[in-house]
Amino acid sequence: MKREIIQYLRAWKTRSERNPLIVRGARQVGKTYLIEEFAKTEFKNCLSINLEEKPELKKLFFDNDVKRILTELSILMNEDISFGETLLFIDEIQSCPEALQSLRYFKEKTPQLHVICAGSLLDHTLNEMKLPMPVGRVEFMHLYPMNFNEFLVAINQERLVKYIREYDFSNPFSEVIHNQIAQHLRFYFFIGGMPAVVKNFAENTRLSDIQRIQNNIMTSIQYDFAKYGTRKQQDYLQLVLRYCGRYPGRKIKFSNIDREIRSTYLKESIEKLALSRIIHKIKHTNASKVPLTEYVKEEVFKTVFMDIGFVNQLNQIELTGLNNLVTANEGILAEQFIAQELLNIQPEYMSPELFYWSREEKSSNAEIDFIFQHKNKIYPIEVKAGKTGTLKSMQLYLHEKKLKEGIRFNMDLPSKGSFHVRLNVPGNTAELSWTLLSLPLYMVSELRRLIDLGVLRF
């Protein structure tokens, strides 16, 4: 299961100013597998410890004497430690805050040693940690489910990935290749990007196993709720998880989840699910320039789920064959897919952030699915499940924010164009000249590259 992010790990390994690396991501997205594969190819040996499987090892971190810790680990695990050739991998580190604190001293006392840590509920520990965090002495990497390109590689379609990555508008996009990619995308919508699910499909191509594996993963994720508080709080988490999984991309109104439960309890559940990376918030921003975060309305947001495959699993959509993979949820699946891909193209070291814009007025409602920032410029993004759809919200947003460039993802072939339109705005009419970059859903991975190529400039 090849992961693109391994290139980031290789760059981290060779950096002179390298800190211990903390890998953050939801349960079952492949953190442990990725790090172990990285160790096999890049290091002579790996000293790997799991602090949940071997809780007795937590006692090694009673102080910050890292030389003693390494000596005792070497003896207990029967592994040599050689700086530059050994990777120290501490898994499930969230179960031992003292181990997290010790990372500062690994950096200061043994900077030559390569140290990577991971943990499924790590964000909860970092958020609630009472011991001092090693600020400036650690760095982070964020891992998500497998993206669509990684899915294509897993099913031996590397040539399709190469075609997507090299497309630059100098020639028409092949309609035959587009249709082939669209078929694989249809499968990805229902299989998703959880590595265990993709691996099973790649090896067996049996749809009958997919929902069983997805259900097993989702059950294991929900077992973690026992760590989140009282039985009543766990019930709230279950309720919110099901709602967010069934309605990705919908603006959160607590009354829609359950009118009988106090909004503070539901809000707390959303925050905990977001910390666990089970859901991701899409925050409302009224920005017309960077930074997007300065114009965020914290109380207004949508959510998307951790993986598109679970959206169908929670909606009980059965996988029976390619011709039957069409549902009434096409629109929300398209938006969920774009959200996942946008998270994947963010810099690996940055905490995930997604934004949208909406205006709720009686005669002029409008919503932009995503507001995307690239090199200090912002671009509105509209998502369409099919090949058609109006762009009224896009035009209103561009006019209001005095911008000239927009992006659309749909299931048509790539195209670009310049347009001049007359708009009906509240109490007046206005004119807008703008350019549109229209890409098939599966080309989100190429968005930054195509913008840099200047395809929006005419």
Q: What are phi and psi of 343, to 5 degrees?
A: -60, -40
How much is the average pLDDT of 100-119?
Answer: 95
Query: What is the tens place of the pLDDT at every residue in 132-191?
Result: 667 789 999 999 999 999 999 999 999 999 999 999 999 999 999 999 999 999 999 999
One-letter identity of residue 458: F
Query: Between the CA of residue 189 and those of 128, 309, 312, 321, 351, what are the distances in Å?
Result: 35, 6, 8, 13, 25
Given a cut of 70, whether residue 300 has pLDDT beyond it is: yes
Share of the chain above pLDDT 70, in %: 95
Query: What is the tens place of the pLDDT at every residue in 37-49?
Result: 999 999 999 999 9
What is the model's pLDDT at position 363? Answer: 64
DSSP 212-238: HHHHHHHHHHHHGGGGSSSHHHHHHHH
Residues 417 and 329: beta-carbon distance below 8 Å: no
Q: What are phi and psi of 280, to 5 degrees?
A: -125, 135
Given a cut of 70, whether residue 31 has pLDDT beyond it is: yes
Residues 356 and 281: beta-carbon distance below 8 Å: no
Note the Cα 407 to chain centre separation in Å: 20
pLDDT band at 318 (very low <50, low <70, confident <90, very high): low
Domain residue extents for the chain: 6-142, 183-453
Helix, strand, coil percentages for the chain (3-state, nearest 5)? 45, 20, 35
Length reported for the chain: 458
Residues 303 and 279: beta-carbon distance below 8 Å: yes
What DSSP character marks residue 95?
A: G
Note the Cα 433 to chain centre separation in Å: 34
Given a cut of 70, whether residue 327 has pLDDT beyond it is: no
Structure tokens at 381: 């993004």
What is the model's pLDDT at position 430? Answer: 87
What is the pTM for the complete model shown?
0.93
Query: Between the CA of residue 146 and those of 61, 113, 249, 328, what are the distances in Å?
Result: 34, 29, 20, 25
Given a cut of 90, whether residue 385 has pLDDT beyond it is: no
How much is the average pLDDT of 430-448?
Answer: 95
What is the model's pLDDT at position 416? Answer: 95
pLDDT band at 328 (very low <50, low <70, confident <90, very high): low
> Which has the minimum average pLDDT: 2-11, 217-226, 432-441?
217-226
* Residues paired with residue 436 on neighbouring β-strands, in sequence order: 406, 417
One-letter identity of residue 322: L
Quick one: CATH architecture of 6-142? 3-Layer(aba) Sandwich (3.40)
Own/partner long-range contacts of 174-183 (Cβ < 8 Å, ≥24 apart): 175/413, 178/413, 178/440, 181/152, 181/440, 181/442, 182/411, 182/440, 182/442, 183/322
